[in-house]
Amino acid sequence: MSERPAPGALSHIRVLDLSRVLAGPWASQTLGDLGAEVIKIERPEHGDDTRRWGPPFLKDREGEDTRDSAYYLCANRNKKSVAVDFTRAAGQALVREMARRCDVVIENFKVGSLAQYGLDHASLQAVNPRLVYCSITGFGQTGPYAERAGYDFLMQGMGGLMSITGRADGEEGAGPVKVGVALTDILTGLYASTAILAALQSRDLTGVGQHIDLALLDVQVACLANQGMNHLYGGSPRRMGNAHPNTVPYQDFQTQDGFMILAIGNDGQFGSFCRAVGRAEWADDDRFRTNADRIANRGLLIALMRDITVTRSTSDWIALFEQVGVPCGPINTIAEVFADPQVQARGTRIHMTHPVAGEIPLVASPVRLSQTPVQYRHAPPLLGQDTRDVLGELMGMAPEAIAELMQQGVVA
């Protein structure tokens, strides 16, 4: 007899997810991976905007495109989809009743827009004082930009990230560049899940929920990290390509057959590098002895190193540097990432059973918990896949009542 899996760390928590696109869904998927029951509320017929953000689209068992994009699949596993039109009074009443039975609400509508439906924080707190209500917006609930819509690309620009991403001024191809994934959205989703867990912990002590006000712009500014502090302490952050503003050498280098990364973070590693490439004298050179020296003479050192790195292949350099403890690695394509033996050994690619497509690949959660491991219970759902079950089991509605709502177009 096989052992039943341990319940997830959040298996006692129920989340009502009114969000769509990425930041909110990333937060709710994180909570779902940790065991929470997540009920995703979607518009009938249309659903989450990202369902149609393709190609590529998920293919069914016959190899035909479905209505769900790969983008949608990345942020919506471990959820139940309930299609409700809450622009109608009956739909609003349903969502309010669900909120009464939930621990968390996540929403990412424009500031104030849910109040007209009675689904804002004040309205739902009155229904359920223990509710943790997380609002994700572009600019937050206050301030001169609060009414504006916010998008990841805008935040990467407005929040300073693009000013330090891209080739340096004066180099070929210079100019601001966004990160290749919607990183501000992802980081906001992670901050949201952390804040929700903190609010739940507080609720356990006080018995009262609270409102979480998360803004994409706030998150992007916070995640400038060392570059934000460099500015506050008199530095001048700027685009530097793949170079690091605070440590040298820490960037890409051309090799005989491509490129590699050297991430040398201290003087000891630099000495090991120098000895490995036959330039032991560099470690004692007054121009390069300390990190501060290397930053002051960055251009000279990098030019000398590039003359050497082009003499061998990437794999030869990596084999050499790994032996002497010099941090290094290749610049992989996405295909090479999933073929990497370390990535495979960590189980980063998983498979789940989808009701239309059969077995589908997904990217695993990076969280590894020894006692309450992540469980992959539900593949990303079809639109409205769980409407009948949730209304029947959670709300206690009779099949006839559900059928009537469906006939009216309130749910689907």
Query: Which element (helix H / strand E) includes 168?
Result: none
Q: Quick check: bond before 249 cis, omega within 30?
A: yes
| Known active-site residue 257 | no
- Same domain for 295 and 395, yes or no, is no
Distance CA 42, CA 76 (A): 12
Q: Where are the beta strands (DSSP E) in 150-269?
A: 211-215, 250-254, 259-263
Whether 125 maps to a domain, the answer reads: yes
Domain boundary among 297, 332, 367: 332
Instruction: Given the residues 17, 48, 185, 386, select the one marked as catalytic.
Output: 185
Whether 5 maps to a domain, the answer reads: no
Q: Is the dihedral of CA 23, 29, 30, 31 positive or negative?
A: positive
If you average pLDDT over every residue of the chain, what do you get?
96
Q: Give pLDDT, residue 3.
A: 58
C-beta atoms surrounding 63 within 10 Å: 7
Distance CA 10, CA 201 (A): 12
267-285: buried (b, 16+ CB within 10 Å) or exposed (e) per residue? eebbbbbbebbeeeebbee
- Same domain for 46 and 191, yes or no, is yes
Q: How far apart are the first and last CA of the chain?
A: 40
When divided into structural domains, the chain yields a total of 2
C-beta atoms surrounding 131 within 10 Å: 23
Task: List per-block mean pLDDT (blocks of 10 residues) for the chain, which spans 412 residues.
Answer: 74 98 98 98 96 97 96 98 98 98 98 97 98 98 96 97 95 94 98 98 98 98 97 95 95 96 97 97 97 97 97 97 96 96 97 97 97 97 98 96 96 97
Q: What is the CATH number of the domain that holds 297?
A: 3.30.1540.10
Whether 307 maps to a domain, the answer reads: yes
Both structure tokens of 216 = 């994409």
- Same domain for 108 and 188, yes or no, is yes
Q: What domain range is 316 assigned to?
A: 250-332
For the CA atoms of 100, 103, 108, 109, the dihedral, rounded to the nearest 10 degrees, stands at 10
Instruction: Give this prediction's pTM.
Output: 0.94
CB-count exposure of residue 56 (10 Å: 0-12, 13-18, 19+): exposed
Domain boundary among 265, 298, 332: 332
Q: Where are the beta strands (DSSP E) in 119-161?
A: 132-137
- Closest of 37, 29, 46, 28 to residue 8, by C-alpha: 37
